[in-house]
Amino acid sequence: DARVTQTPRHKVTEMGQEVTMRCQPILGHNTVFWYRQTMMQGLELLAYFRNRAPLDDSGMPKDRFSAEMPDATLATLKIQPSEPRDSAVYFCASGLGSLSTDTQYFGPGTRLTVL
């Protein structure tokens, strides 16, 4: 049963600290999405990769957030420095993207709390 995995599942940190979240997409998938979810804003797309290249990161605060795919089996989302307003659940999703369709399969999320 292929699944997207995310680590850590929970993270509590203090303001100003660096946070790194990791995602292992489903083997063979060529697209990766990073989302942030809060009660007020719902699901917000932060970044979107296809074949490891970033296609859209317009939803990401560039001054503190960065997203990378070092290889096809790992995607990372970093926040440096973290702020209390970054507290949210961060989801990674992967898909077998074609030129038009891209069904997304979500991981369980990382619940981040910044004190």
Partner 1 sequence: DAKTTQPTSMDCAEGRAANLPCNHSTISGNEYVYWYRQIHSQGPQYIIHGLKNNETNEMASLIITEDRKSSTLILPHATLRDTAVYYCIAYNAGNNRKLIWGLGTSLAVNP
- Note whether 23 binds partner 1 by CB under 8 A: no
Residue count at the site for partner 1 (CB under 8 A)? Answer: 26
Number of Cβ atoms within 10 Å of the Cβ of 88:
20
In angstroms, the CA 115 to CA 108 distance is: 22
Task: Tell me if 45 sits within 8 A of 102, measured CB to CB.
Answer: no
- Using the rule CB under 8 A, which residue among 32, 49, 67, 109 binds partner 1? 109
Sign of the C-alpha dihedral computed for residues 46, 5, 26 and 67 taken in this order: positive
Contact pattern for partner 1 over residues 42 through 71, marking x by CB under 8 A:
xxxx--x-------x-xx------------
User: Of 13-21, 67-75, 76-84, 93-101, which part binds partner 1 (CB under 8 A)?
Assistant: 93-101
Number of Cβ atoms within 10 Å of the Cβ of 69:
19
Nearer CB in complex with partner 1: 65/91: 91
In the complex, what is the shortest distance from the CB of residue 87 to partner 1, in angstroms, rounded to a whole number? 15
Task: Tell me if 59 sits within 8 A of 47, measured CB to CB.
Answer: yes
The site for partner 1 (CB under 8 A) is made up of: 4, 31, 35, 42-45, 48, 56, 58-59, 91, 93, 97-109
